[in-house]
Amino acid sequence: MDFNLSPEEESFRDEVRAFLDENLPPKDERDFAAVAEFQRKVRERRWVGFSWPEEVGGGGGSVMQQVILKEEMAKRNAPSLGSCFMGLAWVGPGIIEYGTEEQKQRFIPDILDSKYQWCTGYSEPDSGSDLASLKCRCELQGDEYVVNGQKIWTSLAMWAKWMILLVRTETDVEVKHDGITCLLVEVDTPGITVRPIKNMAGNAIFAEVFFDDVRVPVENRLGEEGQGWRVTVSALAHERSSISEVYGLTRTLARIRELAKTCQRGGRPAEEDPHLRRRIAQADMRIEAMRLNGMRFLTKQLKGEPLGAETSINKLLRAQLEIEFGELALEIEGSLSVLGKGDEACPEDGHWQHVSLNWPELVIGGGTPNIQKNIIAERVLGLPKD
């Protein structure tokens, strides 16, 4: 065991730190323009798409360099590397692996520059956790695909220019995973209607998307017809590392500890309450477990061993923590926890009320906790499939 960086890794870390010292705008000066300027400079360094091959405009960074970059950025609570979140997270990697030369040239530079937003049309009203059962119909007519059906829980659809879309091109298949095709679709194509859905926190982040005879040129297909499931699985597999997430979780817990100093419980500061102290320690312990689990997974990666379903461990821990944070903060606030944003007596102007209602975005999105447990049980423990 050795937690030290090699001299080359250290010098890369120093480079990142020096860059952040010089270019990271202070917390209270991060308006839209300042963040955009920061992201432009990050892009200049080729740290956006840092893991992508250099020939498509990526940074060609090693696994360890990517980890260092992410970690240093997370430590300083820097803005994301680019605003094109889904493009950078999985659409880009999918296009690099399965796209045609023409698709790479058309989309990858724009994703790296975060020119516009991508959204992800996977879930349907009847196909959530059981995504492969999706039904959105798609027929080839001449050199166009014609799409009819509905998607739901499509985050950012109302602001996105492009969508990565899964459709069913064949219904008569033995295995439901076959017959699925992946298309890249412009959201303003005639026949597409986007209807925002307000979530329980009061925000509209995701939407329903309806497709009514939507025509998509055949050259916008990603991968082969019928190969869509594989394209999706391999693209999502890039969404892995969890070490850098730990810094955000640590910051949230530190903020909860501050809250516990200011709120009273039984006439004494809440931080002296043994039950709450225990809850705070439990969260601290789980965050550290996530960090160290992540280090063990990273060690595997560095040795060239493929990461399997064990990464679901940290997804489960993260889910527990995200839910617990909101609940813990509300318990610390006590009677005042029932008040909402805008009320003078509401602690921190409703911050924790929002946190406690907003966790599903993080917890349900990449597969619910129950699905993560199925993944562990079936793929790691070898139990029979349901």
**Sites of contact with other proteins (CB under 8 A):** 1-5, 9, 64, 67, 254, 257, 274, 277-278, 280-282, 284-286, 288-290, 292-293, 295-296, 298-300, 302-303, 310, 313, 316-317, 370, 372-374, 376-378, 380-386
160-168 vs 117-121, strand pairing mode? parallel
CA angle 338-367-291, nearest 5°? 80
Other C-beta atoms closer than 10 Å to the C-beta of 266 total 9
257: three-class secondary structure by DSSP = helix
Closest CA to 352 of 229, 243, 267, 270: 270
The torsion defined by the Cα of 319, 325, 326 and 332, in degrees rounded to 10, comes to 160
Q: Kindly tell me which of 63 and 204 has the beta carbon lying closer to other proteins.
A: 63
Instruction: Tokens for 197, please give them.
Output: 């859905």
217: helix, strand or coil: strand
Between 126 and 288, whose beta carbon lies closer to other proteins? 288
Q: Any catalytic annotation for residue 239?
A: yes
Rounded alpha-carbon distances, angstroms, from residue 359 to 49, 221, 274, 324? 27, 34, 26, 10
Report how far residue 75's alpha carbon sits from residue 66's, in angstroms, rounded to the nearest whole number.
14
Least distance from other proteins to the Cβ atom of residue 383, Å: 4
Between 274-302 and 245-262, two packed helices, what is the crossing angle to 10 degrees? Answer: 170
Residue 219, both tokens: 């050259």
Nearest distance from residue 293's CB to other proteins, in Å? 5
The catalytic residue among 71, 144, 225, 239 is 239
Pick between residue 357 and residue 377 the one whose CB is nearest to other proteins: 377
- The least CB distance from residue 252 to other proteins, in Å, is 13
Name the residue nearer to other proteins (CB basis): 292 or 338.
292
Question: How far is it, in rounded angstroms, from Cα 267 to Cα 186?
Answer: 59
Residue 214 or 249 with smaller CB distance to other proteins: 249
Residues known to be catalytic: 239
